[in-house]
Amino acid sequence: MAYNTERLKGLIIDKYGTRQAFCKAIGMRPSTLSKRLKDGRDWRGSSLIKAVRALQIPDEKIDYYFFDLRVEEPQPKGAKK
């Protein structure tokens, strides 16, 4: 299952200017953030809590930023992905 991370990426830039500054604020390696933003997986536990707090996301908006399912376009039969 893949998530749309465009909203989260935009919020990070709006609040911190760069992904690196955001990583520093939450104590995460940039490579880890890159992997999480690539397809939106692995946002759980303390890393999710740190990110939500740093970005000042209200509880009711967590799904909007972190768990918005990516809608994939249907592929014609026999088409390569």
Give the per-residue pLDDT at 13. 98
Give the per-residue pLDDT at 12. 98
Nearest to 41 by CA among 19, 75, 8, 74: 8
Does residue 81 form part of some domain? no
Does residue 22 form part of some domain? yes
CATH of the domain at 44: 1.10.260
Does residue 42 form part of some domain? yes
Domain count for the chain: 1
Give the per-residue pLDDT at 73. 61
Does residue 71 form part of some domain? no
Q: Are 55 and 11 in contact (CB under 8 A)?
A: yes
Domain that holds residue 58: 6-66
Q: In tens digits, what is the pLDDT along the chain, a chain of 81 residues?
A: 678 899 999 999 999 999 999 999 999 999 999 999 986 677 889 999 999 999 999 999 999 999 888 766 666 666 665
Does residue 17 form part of some domain? yes
Does residue 72 form part of some domain? no
Does residue 78 form part of some domain? no
**Count of beta carbons in the 10 Å neighbourhood of residue 8:** 22
Give the per-residue pLDDT at 44. 80
